[in-house]
Amino acid sequence: MLTFKLALRNLLGAGLRTWLNVLVLSLAYVVIIYMNGMLDGWNRQAKTDMVHWSTGQGQLWQKDYDPIDPFTLQNSMGKIPVEFTGLVEEGRIAPVLVAMASFYPEGRIQSILLKGIPENQKVIDLPTYSMTGDTSEIPGIIGKRMAESNKIKVGDMVTLRWRDRNGTFDASDVRISAVFNTNVPMVDAGQIWIPLSRMQKMFGAPGEATILISDKPVWPKFTDENWVSKDVKTLTAEIDQVIKTKSIGSAVMYIILLLLAMLAIFDTQVLSIFRRQREIGTQIALGMTRWQVVRLFTIEGAMNAVLAAALAAVYGIPFLASQAKSGIPMPQATDSMGLAIAEKIFPVYSIGLIIITIVFVLITATIVSYIPARRIAKMNPTEAIKGRIQ
Amino acid sequence: MESNKTVIEIRNLVKTFPMGNREFTALNGINLIFSGGEFSGLVGPSGSGKTTLLNIIGTLDSPTEGEALVLGSSVGKLSQKNAAQLRNLKIGFIFQTFNLLPVYSAFENVEFPLLLQKLNAAERKKSVMDALDWVGLTDKIKSRPAQMSGGECQRVAIARAIVKKPEIVLADEPTANLDAENSHHILQTMVRLNHDLGTTFLFATHDEKVIGYLRRIIKLSDGKVSKDEMVTNK
Q: How do strand A191-195 and strand B224-230 relate by DSSP bridges?
A: unpaired
**pLDDT attached to residue A389:** 53
pLDDT at residue B71 above 90?
yes
Please give the mean pLDDT across all residues of chain B. 91
Residues in chain B closer than 8 A to A284 (CB atoms): 60, 84, 87
- Per residue, what are the HEC states of chain A? CHHHHHHHHHHHHCCHHHHHHHHHHHHHHHHHHHHHHHHHHHHHHHHHHHHHHHHCCEEEEECCCCCCCHHHHHHCCEECCHHHHHHHHHCCEEEEEEEEEEECHHHCCEEEEEEEECCCCCCCCCCHHHHCCCCCCEEEEEEHHHHHHHCCCCCCEEEEEEECCCCCEEEEEEEEEEEECCCCHHHCCCEEEEEHHHHHHHHCCCCEECEEEECCCCCCCCCCCCEEEEEHHHHCHHHHHHHHHHHHHHHHHHHHHHHHHHHHHHHHHHHHHHHCHHHHHHHHHCCCCHHHHHHHHHHHHHHHHHHHHHHHHHHHHHHHHHHHHHCEECCCHHHHCCCCCCCEECCCCCHHHHHHHHHHHHHHHHHHHHHHHHHHHCCCHHHHHHCCCC
Q: Which of A239-243, A269-273, B63-67 has the highest mean pLDDT?
A: B63-67
Secondary element (H or E) of residue B202:
strand B200-205
Query: How many CB atoms are closer than 10 A to CB A355?
Result: 10
Which one of A279, A282, A296, A380 would you mutate to disrupt binding with B, by most B Cβ within 10 Å of its Cβ?
A: A282
pLDDT at residue B1 above 70?
no
In B, residues 195-234, which contact A (CB 8 Å cutoff)? none
**pLDDT attached to residue A137:** 85
Q: For the ranges A52-61, A76-85, A266-275, which has the lowest average pLDDT?
A: A266-275
Tell me the average pLDDT across A366-388.
80
pLDDT at residue B143 above 90?
yes
Query: How many CB atoms are closer than 10 A to CB A101?
Result: 23
Q: For the ranges A50-54, A150-154, A260-264, A360-364, which has the lowest average pLDDT?
A: A260-264
Asked if CATH classification 3.40.50.2000 holds for the domain at B6-226, the reply, yes or no, is no
The answer to whether the CB of B29 falls within 8 A of the CB of B12 is yes
- In chain B, pLDDT over 90 holds for what percent of residues? 68
pLDDT at residue A390 above 60?
no
Q: For the ranges A78-82, A147-151, A282-286, A365-369, which has the lowest average pLDDT?
A: A365-369
Residue in chain B lying closest to A387 (CA): B99
8 Å CB contact of B103 and A278 = no
**pLDDT attached to residue A213:** 95
In Å, how far is B92's CA from the nearest CA of chain A? 7
Tell me the average pLDDT across A183-201.
91
What's the pLDDT tens digit per position in B32-65?
Answer: 999 999 999 999 998 899 999 999 999 999 999 9
Amino acid code (one letter) for A175: R
8 Å CB contact of A385 and B61 = no
pLDDT at residue A96 above 90?
yes
**pLDDT attached to residue B115:** 92
CA distance A305 to A73: 61
Instruction: Quickly list DSSP for B89-112.
Output: HHEEEE-TT----TTS-HHHHHHH
What's the pLDDT tens digit per position in A231-242?
Answer: 989 988 888 888
**pLDDT attached to residue A197:** 92
Residue A288 backbone phi and psi in degrees, to 5: -85, 145
Q: Measuring CA to CA, which residue among A11, A3, A39 is closest to residue A301?
A: A11
What's the pLDDT tens digit per position in A247-259?
Answer: 787 788 878 877 8
In B, residues 147-166, which contact A (CB 8 Å cutoff)? 160
Tell me the average pLDDT across B94-112.
92
**pLDDT attached to residue B53:** 95
**pLDDT attached to residue A118:** 94
**pLDDT attached to residue A189:** 85
Residues in chain B closer than 8 A to A386 (CB atoms): 97
pLDDT at residue A261 above 80?
no
8 Å CB contact of A282 and B102 = no
Tell me the average pLDDT across B117-132.
93
- Domain extents in chain B: 6-226
Predicted model pTM:
0.72
- Which of A282, A290, A380 comes nearest B101 by C-beta? A282
The answer to whether the CB of B43 falls within 8 A of the CB of B206 is yes
**pLDDT attached to residue A336:** 53
- In chain B, pLDDT over 70 holds for what percent of residues? 98
8 Å CB contact of A285 and B60 = yes
**pLDDT attached to residue A185:** 84
**pLDDT attached to residue A221:** 86
What's the pLDDT tens digit per position in A297-338?
Answer: 889 888 888 999 999 999 999 999 999 888 888 776 555 554
pLDDT at residue A371 above 80?
yes
User: Cα A118 to chain center, whole Å?
Assistant: 30
Give the pLDDT band of residue A227 (cuts 50, 70, 90): very high
The answer to whether the CB of A47 falls within 8 A of the CB of A236 is yes
Give the pLDDT band of residue A134 (cuts 50, 70, 90): low
**pLDDT attached to residue B94:** 92
What's the pLDDT tens digit per position in B149-180?
Answer: 988 998 899 999 989 989 999 999 888 877 88
**pLDDT attached to residue B74:** 94
Helix (H, G, I), strand (E, B) or coil at B8: strand
Which one of B27, B115, B172 would you mutate to disrupt binding with A, by most A Cβ within 10 Å of its Cβ?
A: B115
**pLDDT attached to residue B81:** 92
